[in-house]
Amino acid sequence: MRVLLILSMMVIAVSPFSNIQACTRVVYKGPGNLIITARSMDWRDEIPANLWVLKRGTERNGLVGPNSVKWKSKYGSVVTSSWDIASADGMNEKGLVGNMLWLAESVYPKFDPASGKKGVAISLWLQYVLDNFASVDEAVKALSKEEFVIVSDVIPGSDKFTTLHLSVSDNTGDNAIFEYINGKLVVHHNQSYTVMTNSPVFEEQLAINQYWKNIPGTTMLPGTNRAADRFVRASYYINAIPATDNTHVAVASVFSVIRNCSVPYGISSKEEPNISSTRWRTVADQKNLVYYFENVLTPNVVWVDLKKIDFSPGTDAKKLELDKGQTYAGESSGKFISVKPFSFVGL
């Protein structure tokens, strides 16, 4: 009976309606407190990305009208933007990493400005966390109070309603997943939650993976690009690669895992929209505060050492343009240019 239940859940997970876009996120825990978080961004269409340095002391608001939450950033961060209207991925100067992934099952609370309830546009959800918290525990305690709601809308220029869930990890190896299911915030907080993909909801992802733990990974692993299969592969490989405190080896190993869970460029399926090409990948070394970015259209990996960045209030936002296939190699913090910060999209 249990096997039949798990298999039925797997069928649901791989249905064509289970997730429109596909991504994978995984956390590596090595000796000597070496924590590394990686993710892939899989999207059917082009999704231009740039790297940004955003400073502490920046005034922001939730962009949902008069009842928008207002805050001043406590921490600076390096983020990857999507279309320069939202933060999709990033790490702050305290080593807190956030990753936004698609979750078709997301249902957000109804936002009624007349009710007095505060709100934050979904484009700012990740940035709010990076701006305000130094650890996963801080984020969980604050967001669990539900002092505001996340307000979503269609992606500009499309008819696609934005449905996302958020993962966070910190330099202690702690992890949390935030999802809105049936209008309610669901928080999964545990150091063991090192892998997340798209559909189904995270609780069901854990159940699917538990089934596969009974099958040796050296014997068989599910090999498709579907979310449930990527979850299983990432869970197996992140624990199979060498446990090392050698940063170069660890980063290379984690890159190999996230590439294994990626979808080859140019592959997409109208019949199975959950299969989408990987557009870019990030790897965040949370011990040494180094953020790596790989655009699949360029042959090089670019990285940013956050220790070399001045996040002081009053300094300019900075941008490293990558959205047109610009090529950089190696540590590139000195190649960012001072620009006006991008504008988050709101209601």
Question: Which two structure tokens, joined as six digits, stand for 46?
Answer: 């082009």
Nearest by Cα to 98 from 62, 66, 130, 128:
130
CB atoms within 10 A of CB 320: 20
Nearest by Cα to 342 from 56, 45, 20, 54:
54
Amino acid at 49: A
List residues bridging with 337 in a β-sheet. Answer: 319
Residue 322 contacts residue 330 (beta carbons within 8 Å): no
Query: Catalytic residue among 14, 20, 23, 309, which?
Result: 23
Kindly list the distances between the CA atom of residue 60 and the CA atoms of 129, 337, 346, in Å, as whole numbers in the listed order: 12, 22, 12
- d(C-alpha 330, C-alpha 240), whole Å: 27
What DSSP character marks residue 198? Answer: S
Percent of the chain as helix, strand, coil, to the nearest 5? 25, 30, 45
- Establish whether 261 is a catalytic residue: no
Residue 34 contacts residue 247 (beta carbons within 8 Å): yes
| Catalytic center residues | 23
